Amino acid sequence: MVDIAGLKVDENLISVVEKDIAPGTGIEPSKFWASFAEAVKEFGPRTKQLLEKRDVIQSKIDVWHQERRGKPLDMVEYKAFLQSIGYLVPEGPSFAVTTANVDPEIATVAGPQLVCPIDNARFILNAANARWGSLLDALYGTDVIDEADGAAKGSSYNPVRGAKVFAMVHKVLSDTFPLTAGDYGGAAAFELRDGRLAVVPKAGGPAAGLRSPEQFVGYTAAPDGSLTSVLLRNRGLHVEIQIDRNSAVGKGHAAGVKDVVLESALTAIADCEDSVAAVDGQDKAACYRSWAGLMRGTLTADILKAGRPVARGLNPDRVWASPAGPGAPPVVLPGRAVLLVRNVGIHLYTDAVTTADGAPIPEHILDAFLTSFGSLLDFRPAPGAARTRNSRSGSSYIVRPKMHGPEEVAMACDLFASVEKALAMPPLTIKMGIMDEERRMSVNLKEALRVSASRVAFINTGFLDRTGDEIHTSMEAGPFPTKADLRKQIWLKAYEDNNVDVGLSCGLAPGHGQIGKGMWAAPDSMKQMLLEKIGHPMSGASTAWVPSPTAATLHALHYHAVDVNARQQALKGRAPARVEDILTVPAAPAGSPPPADAAAIRKELDSCAQVRESGSAGVRESGWAGLGDRGASACRGPELRTGRVTRKIGDSDQTL
């Protein structure tokens, strides 16, 4: 440990600041640590006070339920009680979110979002580069296309399967970019005629055009003028038809189409929280080094290609010619997702930095300062460095998890203001993402947005974390159903609807930020995802989490099919979700018989704790298709492994 500015700092953190982050920012490491030490003095006690308030509130809720065992829940009494203890805060008048300088991928364009562990360079580069994805690969390599009638994937390209893939691709194109006559399956060639796209039919006759010619926004061409790609746009999302009659795929297509590439993951969260195991100074330094590399545009990872190591980095921007003519500027689109970074919650402490007397400090303060310091590299590049900008609007995006209502959000806003001052950032550079995953946040979401109205750019729901807090808050009320049955309870729909209702009523989306929905947790079941996950844009969400780049490409189809802005406008007219429904406790009255037999209870415990057949408990699965982690959150395994929870499941004595 190194003594600096009245703190003891792990030497790995000292090194990552001096060697990987500070150069080129104009901020001296000594000045940075001095500012950080002042923030620890200010926000350390404030964090402690807020955590103590959590415990006091929870203790009162436990006692309240214990005193009413065997009695049905009286919602009027219950709601008044929650107001009296400060759990449920008064709701103020209407207001509008004013967050400025938000990138369009977050503010206005709806599309998929990835979440990826930040400490693995290969995985996070895959996520960042998932802005564009092959629709042909996504269909060919997953269960969306069945393997019947000779359409097996095999070890090499199967033309029978390829024909099935193209049949679906042609339908997607025809539905999304309809032609004045015919469809894409009948195309023999794509041509540029007088600045417009012409589709020559196989059957002969006049060429068709787009019903909406403005959907054609760019192209590339060979020296002889023949098109090599066509760029189309729908609802702000782009699709590129790539043409090469000499390629293995293109030579089998009448129009020479070799691929259809979709703009896929508009945004990705580089995760310092749920999907990583970053504990000590070395672990944390690795996270911050990775983030700095992403912001500099220099992060690389070696991958094996044809048996040889190849360095993978961030993809460059993509360029097309404009249909407007030779004098028009080219069409340039980002090659990468806009990256947000998720910090840890306020409940975690770290000994990677301690006070002078050796006391651990709140880890969220360390995350806020170090990830923001890394974000400076996006705004202040080293002289001569290639530019691969993350935010074209000059903003940094930090997602804050597991906050319990407006008081904790207000502290985060004040902390970010302190960071901005320390790093000489313009005020409100740091935008906040609020994870709506705690019950006290859900019922006070409007007031949480009020205190962050000039900074919030993202709200998001998530079934697993939110379910964990539902159990934790009310376990003294009685036995809880299984996770599957909890999905059917009244509180869940009200919670999901409320997140959208509040985001829309406060004007967060569209225009100032995202309204998000949770993860598809079955990365091998893409056919089912394609059927079900369209429900997220239909619900009014402008983004939703996906477990892989492939899933991002497939989920992007939903945002072509659903006009999210129109859905949001329509949903503004519905009756808002009732707080009473969100507060409905999904527990059987205490003393009720167990909701399942002993074997079923054991199975549920094993599932929640991620117990494998080998008997190892609490292991988070790691195997995202293309990324390496199947999800940001398995369930509340640690929650269920405590004596407090195990004691109350079905009032049984089963333990892990």
Closest of 298, 297, 294, 296 to residue 270, by C-alpha: 294
Q: CA–CA separation, 564 vs 566, rounded Å? A: 5
Least confident of 22-26, 292-296, 372-376, 626-630: 626-630
pLDDT digits (tens, 9 = 90+) for 134-150: 999 999 999 999 999 99
pLDDT-based confidence at residue 594 (cuts at 50, 70, 90): low
Task: Summarize the confidence of residues 333-343 as an average pLDDT.
Answer: 98
Could you tell me if 44 and 366 are in contact, meaning their C-beta atoms sit under 8 angstroms apart? no
User: What is the per-residue pLDDT for 203?
Assistant: 87
Can you list the alpha helix ranges (DSSP code H) found in 590-634?
598-608
pLDDT digits (tens, 9 = 90+) for 485-498: 888 999 999 999 99
pLDDT at 631 over 50: no
Q: Is 396 helix (H, G, I), strand (E, B) or coil?
A: strand
Give the chain's end-to-end CA distance (angstroms, integer): 37
Break the chain into its structural domains and give their ranges: 2-111+267-517+562-582, 132-263, 598-651
DSSP per position, 471-518: HHHHGGG-PPPPHHHHTTSHHHHHHHHHHHHHHHHTT-TTTT-EEEE-
Of 381 and 339, the structure prediction assigns the larger pLDDT to 339
User: What is the per-residue pLDDT for 387?
Assistant: 62
User: What is the per-residue pLDDT for 69?
Assistant: 86
User: What is the per-residue pLDDT for 633?
Assistant: 36
Task: Summarize the confidence of residues 287-300 as an average pLDDT.
Answer: 96
Could you tell me if 534 and 476 are in contact, meaning their C-beta atoms sit under 8 angstroms apart? no
Least confident of 165-174, 427-436, 636-645: 636-645
Could you tell me if 543 and 570 are in contact, meaning their C-beta atoms sit under 8 angstroms apart? no
Least confident of 393-407, 427-441, 603-617: 603-617
Q: Is 534 exposed, middle or buried (0-12, 13-18, 19+ CB in 10 A)?
A: middle
Residues contacting 213, CB < 8 A, separation 6+? 196, 197
Least confident of 124-133, 452-461, 621-630: 621-630
Could you tell me if 536 and 594 are in contact, meaning their C-beta atoms sit under 8 angstroms apart? no
Least confident of 4-18, 503-517, 597-611: 597-611
User: What is the per-residue pLDDT for 491?
Assistant: 96
User: What is the per-residue pLDDT for 380?
Assistant: 78
Task: Summarize the confidence of residues 473-501 as an average pLDDT.
Answer: 92
Q: Which range, 110-114, 309-313, 376-380, 484-488, has the best average confidence (pLDDT)?
A: 110-114
User: What is the per-residue pLDDT for 42?
Assistant: 98
Task: Summarize the confidence of residues 415-422 as an average pLDDT.
Answer: 99
Q: CA–CA separation, 38 vs 405, rounded Å? A: 25
* H-run or E-run covering 284: helix 281-296
Task: Summarize the confidence of residues 396-422 as an average pLDDT.
Answer: 98
pLDDT at 635 over 60: no
Closest of 621, 67, 133, 112 to residue 335, by C-alpha: 133
Q: Which two tokens stand for residue 535?
A: 């429900």
Q: Is 329 helix (H, G, I), strand (E, B) or coil?
A: coil
Place of tokens 């790691």: 622
User: What is the per-residue pLDDT for 309?
Assistant: 86
Q: What global pTM score does this model have?
A: 0.92
CATH numeric code, 132-263: 2.170.170.11
User: What is the per-residue pLDDT for 246?
Assistant: 95
For the CA atoms of the chain, what is the radius of gyration? 26
Task: Summarize the confidence of residues 10-34 as an average pLDDT.
Answer: 96
pLDDT digits (tens, 9 = 90+) for 257-275: 999 999 999 999 999 999 9
User: What is the per-residue pLDDT for 602?
Assistant: 82
Evaluated on CA atoms 367, 370, 372, 375, the torsion sign reads: negative
Fold: same for 2-111+267-517+562-582 and 132-263: no
Q: Is 126 helix (H, G, I), strand (E, B) or coil?
A: helix
Q: Is 400 exposed, middle or buried (0-12, 13-18, 19+ CB in 10 A)?
A: buried
Phi and psi torsions of 333, nearest 5°: -125, 150
Place of tokens 């043409």: 243
pLDDT more than 90, % of the chain: 81
Task: Summarize the confidence of residues 350-365 as an average pLDDT.
Answer: 97
DSSP tag of 655: -
Chain Cα centroid distance, residue 356: 37
How many residues does the structure list for the chain?
A: 656
Task: Summarize the confidence of residues 309-336 as an average pLDDT.
Answer: 95
Least confident of 159-163, 333-337, 455-459, 537-541: 159-163
pLDDT-based confidence at residue 639 (cuts at 50, 70, 90): very low
Task: Summarize the confidence of residues 624-646 as an average pLDDT.
Answer: 37
Whether domain 2-111+267-517+562-582 has CATH 3.20.20.360: yes
Phi and psi torsions of 103, nearest 5°: -60, 145
Chain Cα centroid distance, residue 623: 17
Of 24 and 196, the structure prediction assigns the larger pLDDT to 196
Beta strand 237-243 pairing with 227-234: antiparallel
Please work out, in degrees rounded to the nearest 5, the angle formed at the alpha carbon of residue 345 by the alpha carbons of 359 and 117.
Answer: 110
